[in-house]
Structures are given as C-alpha cells and as structure tokens.
C-alpha cells in the first residue's frame, strides 16, 4: 500500500491569495488590526502558526478563545473571498489525482496547514474536495511535521481498517510546493516530490534535496514511475 499526500496551496490550486486576504479581513474586522504585519510568512505554514504569529505581532492574547474566534470568523470570510478572486486548479492536478485514484493499492490524502473546514471550502470551490477522504490539517498543530504525523496516522488507520493487518503503508509520498513540505516529509520518513508551482523557485526546492523535483504536476510519468519503483 502506498500513500500520496498532497499539499493544497501552490500545489493543487492557486487562489489568488484568498487565504491571505481572508486572514487580513478577519484581523481587521474582528481584532481591529487595519493591516496585518508583513513580517509573518504564510507559504507552507499552518493556519494556527500564522494566526498565533499575527496575534503576537499585534499584541492580541494567544488564547484558545481568540484562536476559536479567528477560525469561526475566517471561515465566514473565506468563501466570498475565494469567489471574488481569480484562481485556478494547477495544470495536471485533476489528471494526476484521477490516475492515482485508479491505481490499486494507492491511497490519496491531504497534508496541509489549512484548517480542515478551510481546506474543504477551498477545494470545494475548485471542484477537488471529493477526491480526498482523509488528511492532516492545521486545526490543532502549529508545526507542519506534526500535521504530517497526523496525516500518516490517518492513513494507517484506513490501512488497518481495510486490510485488517497491522503495520502501515510501505511508501508515503508528500507532494508540495515549498521547502516546508520537503522538510515535513523527511520528518515522517516519507518521500518528497516538489513542484515550483506556488511561489517558491525551483532552486530553493532543489537545495532541500527532494526525491523528485518536477516542473509541474503535468509530469505524471515521472511521478507515477517514482511511485511504482
Ligand atoms: Mg503550499
């Protein structure tokens, strides 16, 4: 059994910055922050980590209540923001996901810093949510490696439910667009496939030594061959 875990932003879709925009709107409307700090980076990080950095940057107490309020209000704003911006499903994504789905012994899931309901809104908007039945999300964890552990645990649970055997998948592949995706793959002993389809250049990804670096997910042959190896 092999498991392929996909990052969302910059890997499956580009939203035109909807997540960032909905974060900014939530901080403005709910926490009275007219402009969120540009020192807080978004790419490849979890919603919880980003939001806690912003709380700190703007002197907002990092309480469970504020995190809960943020999530609720962000989700209200994310849908309209997605609808107002031009985004896209990245080239090759639908074909790759459908090819993987058709393979025996390959399970596909998500490994994303998005909170689960945010991931659902984004992927529903772009017609991709139905392909993914499990994953690791950014609701509880700030560190991406922890999210990867969550995704692998979910994959294991599915595997043992299906096969009634212990143990786990014999190969886990993480597909992502940032150095963070590559590092979190390493943290859980997974293979890393990287594509510079978000905002991270190929050279930066190459420095992290992914197992496979493709230009876009249109490069199915390389990815499928790699999975079969
Ligand atoms: Mg990404």
pLDDT at 223 over 90: no
Please, which pLDDT band fits residue 1 given cuts at 50, 70 and 90?
A: confident
User: Ligand 1 center to residue 170 CA distance, Å?
Assistant: 25
The percentage of residues in the chain with a pLDDT greater than 90, rounded to a whole number, is: 82
Same domain (yes/no): 120, 159: yes
What does the pLDDT average to over 4-30?
A: 97
Same domain (yes/no): 9, 52: no
Say what the pLDDT of residue 39 is: 93
Same domain (yes/no): 104, 118: yes
At 105, list the tokens: 């012994």
For the ranges 77-81, 159-163, 224-228, the maximum mean pLDDT occurs at 77-81
Query: Sheet of 171-176: strands edge to edge?
Result: 135-136, 106-111, 2-6, 171-176, 191-194, 212-213
User: Ligand 1 center to residue 144 CA distance, Å?
Assistant: 11
**d(C-alpha 161, C-alpha 98), whole Å:** 23
User: Ligand 1 center to residue 175 CA distance, Å?
Assistant: 9
User: Ligand 1 center to residue 5 CA distance, Å?
Assistant: 12
Neighbours of 102 (CB within 10 A): 8
Same domain (yes/no): 54, 110: no
Q: Domain total for the chain? A: 2
Same domain (yes/no): 105, 74: no
pLDDT at 167 over 70: no
Of residues 2, 11, 62, 43, the one with CA closest to residue 216:
11
What does the pLDDT average to over 8-16?
A: 97
Same domain (yes/no): 143, 198: yes
pLDDT at 217 over 80: yes
pLDDT at 164 over 70: no
Same domain (yes/no): 150, 222: yes
User: Ligand 1 center to residue 13 CA distance, Å?
Assistant: 9
Same domain (yes/no): 72, 48: yes
Please, which pLDDT band fits residue 165 given cuts at 50, 70 and 90?
A: low
Same domain (yes/no): 105, 197: yes
Neighbours of 144 (CB within 10 A): 27
Kindly report, residue by residue over 42-55, the tens digit of the pLDDT.
Answer: 888 899 999 999 99
pTM: 0.94
pLDDT at 188 over 90: yes
User: Ligand 1 center to residue 10 CA distance, Å?
Assistant: 5
CATH number where 8 lies? 3.40.50.1000
User: Ligand 1 center to residue 7 CA distance, Å?
Assistant: 6
Q: Domain of residue 32: give its range.
A: 18-84
Same domain (yes/no): 101, 192: yes
Neighbours of 89 (CB within 10 A): 15
């Amino acid at each position: 059994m092999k498991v392929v875990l996909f990052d969302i932003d910059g890997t499956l879709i580009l939203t035109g910055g909807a997540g960032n925009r909905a974060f900014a709107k939530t901080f403005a409307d709910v926490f009275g922050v007219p402009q969120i700090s540009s020192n807080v980076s978004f790419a490849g990080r979890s919603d919880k980590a980003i939001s806690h950095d912003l709380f700190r940057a703007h002197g907002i107490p990092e309480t469970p209540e504020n995190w809960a309020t943020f999530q609720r209000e962000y989700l209200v704003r994310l849908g309209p923001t997605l609808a107002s911006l031009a985004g896209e499903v990245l080239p090759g994504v639908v074909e790759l996901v459908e090819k993987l789905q058709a393979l025996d012994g390959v399970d596909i899931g998500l490994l994303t810093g998005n909170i689960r309901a945010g991931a659902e809104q984004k992927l529903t908007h772009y017609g991709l949510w139905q392909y993914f039945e499990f994953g690791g999300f950014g609701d509880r964890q700030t560190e991406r490696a922890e999210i990867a552990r969550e995704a692998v645990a979910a994959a294991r649970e599915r595997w043992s439910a299906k096969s009634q055997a212990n143990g786990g998948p014999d190969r886990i592949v993480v597909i992502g667009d940032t150095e963070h995706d590559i590092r979190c793959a390493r943290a859980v002993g997974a293979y890393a496939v990287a594509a510079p389809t978000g905002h991270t250049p190929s050279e930066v990804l190459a420095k992290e030594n992914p197992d496979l670096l493709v230009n876009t997910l249109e490069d199915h042959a390389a990815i499928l061959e790699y999975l079969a190896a």
